[in-house]
Structure 1
Amino acid sequence: MSQTDISGKLGRVRDAVSARDWRTATALCIEILKQDPRQADAHLVLGLAAAEGGKIDMALRAFDTVLKIDPARFDARIQKARCLVQAGRPAAAEQEALQCIEPAEHNPKLLDLLATVFSHIGKQERAGPLIQRAAELAPQDISILSNAAAIQLFLGSNREAAATLEHALQLDPAHARSHWQLSKARKARDSDHCQEMEALLAQQHASGEAPVYLHYALGKEYEDLERWDQAWKHYQQGADKQRQRLQYQASEDQALFDTLLARLDERWLTATPPTPRAHTSEPIFILGLPRSGSTLVERIIASHSQVQSLGELAQWPLAVKRLSNIRQPGLFQPAIAARADTVDLQRAATQYREEIAYLQDGSALFTDKLPANFLYLPLLARAFPQGRLVHVYRNPLDSCFAMYKQLFADAYPFSYTLGELADYYIGYHRLMAHWRRLLGDRLIEVNYDQLVREQEPQTRLLLESLGLPFETDCLEFHRTSSATATASAAQVRQPMHSLSVGRWQMFAEQLSPLKQRLEAAGIALE
């Protein structure tokens, strides 16, 4: 194959990549590499194809090959960083990404990708200037503008995010994700935006994710306007459409609960000694169901001078998964739970600490607010004997409704039908009762409803339980400047309020099947 033939095939590879025809692109790259094994572009595309198919180890090998051929290929280095994030290696991802900031400064697409990497590893402050630069270089690129707004929301810059999204919608009035983000960035004051979105939904070409985004945005804005029936209609339609897009088996979660209950019992706890090592910095794990107030509690605690906020970290469930030798997708699944009682907790704790070290500033305590860590509470208690375990909960119906009306990214697939949501809540309730019996005073519990009614006394009690002296900054949590990369990012920038307490009652009729399921399971609803 001549160089001219190789160049022609590389052109066809680029066309195939543009069309997302990864099979054709892969076949062409293999032909090229048989003739010239040092064609960096072909290795790069093989890496992209492998990453697209979820074969992260294969993708990393391909990108490493590109970098051996040409160490200056920062496009391959950025893609390697992205895959390291997916592989649960954020510290390594940061090392690669830092090398790419300067060489990528004139390429908006790569700056966008680089900002996404930093955002995913919890470095929102570093992501912000990069995505801003990308937006300045490509002010007509809707995808970049949408990503810029997402990071602005994480950083608490709601006005800037709204302005970015309004600009994006001027360029493309049908961009559904931007409509959804705009609904989160500000409170609706009139129905003008709702009318625009209703018109978009009425158009036949709205397909894929677009209707889901629009329904959730409409639900939120109609709720802002206290038009309850219209809000519910759109929440329900959005949830129904999102559920259709997911491959989820509720039986898997029920098996997960059953397995944890059976494996992590009194006998296991008695036979498992705490890991003995002392550390200069200890975790405060804040957990519970999503949308139950854990972000608010995290902001209160992280406003203390002795505490650093590290956000939602996946490093603990990743460490448990690695040491259980389970390779199938997912961090919380029955196969992992079946081996949880055999995990070397000292190794898991060491891996966890090594993976989060790049985020730490030397504070005596740090927060890890991954809600689903409630599944692994006994493991955390034994692996971190000096750590704190904070479970946040609220009224069951408010808790369930708050999940139902939220469009999550990739997590919590149980939340899109009332039946599956009820079953999951019942499983969670049963598991938490078991953990309380096991852990006793090790478990610090915060009732969100009490906290918002009695802010200062409940805050004082929480800090005392954590072994921290009271500081008035903890009452002014909304002034804390650190980023919040959660669905609650907008709410925690506000002073404490009780607007969401009892919110489910506005939808009591629609939620009655859920209420009946919870009551039948013996769950107190007041």
Structure 2
Amino acid sequence: MNATNSTVQADDLRSRAAQQIRSNQLDAAKDTLESLIRRNPEDVPACLELADVLFKLGHMRASSAPLLQAVEHLPKNAPLLLHLIHHLIARGEVVAARNCLDFLAQAPDPPASLLVAQAHHRFTLGEIHAARALIERAIEQGADDPDDHHMHAMLLQFSGDIDEAIAVLDRCLERWPHYGDAMTVRVNLRKQTPEHNHLSHIEAQLRHLSERESSDSTKFVRAEFEYARFKVLDDLGRTEEAWPALARCNALMHELNPYDREDEQALIDAFIDTPEVVAASAPGKADFEGPVPIFIVGMPRSGTTLLDRMLSSHSQVSTAGELVEFWRQLHWVADERPATTQSMRRIIERCGEIDFREVGARYLQQTQWRAGESRFYIDKLPANMRMVAFIRRALPHAPILHMSRDPMDVCFSNYKALFGNVSSYSYDLEALAHSYRCYARLRDHWHAALPGAMMDVPYASLVGDPEATMREVLAHCGLDVESACLHPERNEAPVATPSSAQVREPIHTRGIGQWKRYAEPMQSLHDAIADLL
């Protein structure tokens, strides 16, 4: 067959596959694309299409194969490479995605838009320094969208360069005064004072927003500026004015992100009521090699970032940030497409047949590079609280540290945090009470069914007696005591969480009892969880 005929046949197959996909004939499209790839294994667009089709068909594992095949034949086509990188990350193939990013970095004279896209991917992977260098190059080359400057400011903040981040955000707000993303970050970087605050700017924008149509996007921006108003008034000690602003913010966010009480209840019930979840989950001898992960779990805003900063100040410990890799690898091995809590409930139902050793091996394969030269690395994703039993089965040698905090303090800290369009439980006091009760039920279940699986680290003890508490934490992890762990403010590693500015301060106890300033409006929450206090 000559080259012309081969090209014509390939084009015919490509057109047929496109038509089949449009008609939702996914099984037929799969066969057509596989035929096309057999003819030309280097056809990267066909590999990407096949991966998408397999994913839509529910074949999580199989959808990785064409992506990895495409990695063997990387195209000199930036949009195609970016598409490939995005899908590799989503499938949990982080190492391959980084290799593609390294290849893309070799492109001569990349346009600003390509640098911005690379910065976003590096940020997604938690590579803060690399992402910052890329976004700064992009801005030098003309990138001038407010989102670009916002990302630059966030990366400066995460790197500890607070003054530079403030300067970027101030310039951003001068040019785009209605840009709520910039304002929410700006008011959190430095305590607002009577002499220096953004209240007049915030109130002017809220007056302007009240005149606009009530679309979802407008509601979100209004919520951002109401949050900023709360933060300023709270800093100024004007609590009677601050609470209504926070309540308005959270009412808007709750409307945009309603909490599914039944769904949450069903998931926690499944974890607790399925005996196979805790079967064979006791710690055992590990034969995995290389750096060891340390998991920090708990409620968001319970002090997980502080513990991470203290522990990663140790000479043998690196921080990897908040990774979703365990969740991804669990879904990959279970061949479940990650989507909603329904996929997790199916995994729970089938957990007796899942190869957890493979989960652990894949997790390590995709994360150990984050340790650098260290013996240990921290995975600080609070939501891994739900994964405790599965982590014990997959990685029996990995320490799990559970950060605990006073119920009212942790609930208040969640309620006054603007998480964006996630963490829907945090925007309504009734939802927050229900979510906390679910967390407490699961915590108690893990302790009862898996004694010793995780070590409790009370926030009050960590900040009240850090030396004694860290001695216990280090011993639990098999580490010698180092005084550097008592000075997290000296830790120069990037930290990409909402509390990244606060945790660069010396250890303090100001976070204890903060909710009491708002005891009256929080009374309904207090009553709802009174038996847990």
Q: Same fold (TM over 0.5)?
A: yes
Question: Which residue type is aligned with residue 205 of structure 1?
Answer: R
Whether 1:397 and 2:414 are equivalent positions in the alignment is no
Q: For 1:336-378, what per-residue CA distance to the aligned partner results, in whole angstroms no more than 9, with x for missing partners?
A: 3333343211011011011113323142211111101111112
**Structure 1: segments with no counterpart, 5+ residues:** 1-22, 24-42
Partner residue, 1:508: 519
Q: Distance in 2 between matches of 1:333 and 1:64?
A: 25
Q: For 1:446-499, what per-residue CA distance to the aligned partner results, in whole angstroms no more than 9, with x for missing partners?
A: 110121111222222222222211111101111111111111111111111111
Q: How much does 1:274 deviate?
A: 4.2
Within 5 Å, give how 1:146-161 maps onto structure 2. 146-161=150-165
Which segment is superposed worse, 61-70 or 354-363?
61-70
Q: Distance in 1 between matches of 2:335 and 2:64?
A: 20
Which segment is superposed worse, 95-104 or 323-332?
323-332
Partner residue, 1:282: 292
Q: Distance in 2 between matches of 1:227 and 1:402?
A: 18
Classify 1:465/1:155 alpha carbon distance in 2 versus 1 (closer, same or farther; 3 Å).
same
Partner residue, 2:93: 89
Q: How much does 1:54 deviate?
A: 9.6
Contact kept, 8 Å, 1:308 with 1:363, in 2: the verdict is yes
Question: Which residue type is aligned with residue 383 of structure 1?
Answer: A
Partner residue, 1:375: 386
Within 5 Å, give how 1:1-400 maps onto structure 2. 71-103=75-107, 105-138=109-142, 140-190=144-194, 192-203=197-208, 204-205=211-212, 207-246=218-257, 248-264=259-275, 268-270=278-280, 274=284, 276-327=286-337, 329-330=339-340, 333-400=344-411
Q: Distance in 2 between matches of 1:234 and 1:124?
A: 33
Classify 1:487/1:55 alpha carbon distance in 2 versus 1 (closer, same or farther; 3 Å).
farther
Contact kept, 8 Å, 1:309 with 1:366, in 2: the verdict is yes
Question: Which residue type is aligned with residue 212 of structure 2?
Answer: H
Classify 1:68/1:492 alpha carbon distance in 2 versus 1 (closer, same or farther; 3 Å).
closer
Contact kept, 8 Å, 1:275 with 1:345, in 2: the verdict is no
SS at 2:400's partner residue? strand
TM-score by length of 1: 0.83
Q: How much does 1:323 deviate?
A: 2.6
Contact kept, 8 Å, 1:104 with 1:111, in 2: the verdict is no
Which segment is superposed worse, 189-198 or 348-357?
189-198
Which segment is superposed worse, 139-148 or 471-480?
139-148
- Alignment partner for residue 493 of structure 2, among 458, 474, 482? 482
TM-score by length of 2: 0.82
Contact kept, 8 Å, 1:298 with 1:309, in 2: the verdict is yes
Partner residue, 1:15: none
Within 5 Å, give how 1:434-449 maps onto structure 2. 434-449=445-460
Q: Distance in 2 between matches of 1:65 and 1:283?
A: 29
SS at 1:209's partner residue? helix
SS at 1:88's partner residue? coil
SS at 1:182's partner residue? helix
Which segment is superposed worse, 483-492 or 241-250?
241-250
Contact kept, 8 Å, 2:314 with 2:484, in 1: the verdict is yes
SS at 2:529's partner residue? helix
The number of residues matched between the two structures is 479
Question: Which residue type is aligned with residue 148 of structure 1?
Answer: H
Contact kept, 8 Å, 1:419 with 1:514, in 2: the verdict is yes
Q: How much does 1:284 deviate?
A: 0.8
Report percent identity of matched pairs: 28
Q: For 1:251-284, what per-residue CA distance to the aligned partner results, in whole angstroms no more than 9, with x for missing partners?
A: 111111110001247x943587847424232111
**Structure 2: segments with no counterpart, 5+ residues:** 1-21, 23-44
Classify 1:436/1:227 alpha carbon distance in 2 versus 1 (closer, same or farther; 3 Å).
same
Q: Distance in 2 between matches of 1:231 and 1:117?
A: 37
Contact kept, 8 Å, 1:135 with 1:141, in 2: the verdict is no
Question: Which residue type is aligned with residue 99 of structure 1?
Answer: F
Q: Distance in 1 between matches of 2:64 and 2:480?
A: 47
Classify 1:100/1:438 alpha carbon distance in 2 versus 1 (closer, same or farther; 3 Å).
same
Q: Distance in 2 between matches of 1:279 and 1:430?
A: 35
Contact kept, 8 Å, 2:281 with 2:450, in 1: the verdict is no
Q: Distance in 2 between matches of 1:69 and 1:440?
A: 49
Q: How much does 1:66 deviate?
A: 11
- Alignment partner for residue 504 of structure 2, among 488, 493, 515? 493
Classify 1:194/1:86 alpha carbon distance in 2 versus 1 (closer, same or farther; 3 Å).
farther
Contact kept, 8 Å, 1:284 with 1:367, in 2: the verdict is yes
Q: Distance in 1 between matches of 2:461 and 2:153?
A: 33
Contact kept, 8 Å, 2:153 with 2:166, in 1: the verdict is yes
Question: Which residue type is aligned with residue 224 of structure 2?
Answer: Y
